[in-house]
Amino acid sequence: MALKPTIYKFRVALTDMNRDYYDSLNLTVALHPSENQQRMMRD
């Protein structure tokens, strides 16, 4: 039986107060069992 990926959910808030810009992003990232967290965050 194959190992399942680990799912990570992130919410990123972007703010540029000088330009009065505010935004947020929702990201879902799947980490394959053969990869490490450092590689997931870098790529």
Q: CB of 14 within 8 A of CB of 21?
A: yes
- 10 found inside a domain: yes
Output the tens digit of pLDDT for each of the chain's 43 residues: 788 999 999 999 999 999 999 999 999 999 988 888 887 777 5
Q: CB of 12 within 8 A of CB of 25?
A: yes
- 15 found inside a domain: yes
- 22 found inside a domain: yes
- 1 found inside a domain: no
- 21 found inside a domain: yes
Number of domains present in the structure of the chain: 1
- 33 found inside a domain: yes
User: Which residue range is the domain that position 24 belongs to?
Assistant: 6-42
- The tokens describing 6, both together, are 């680990």
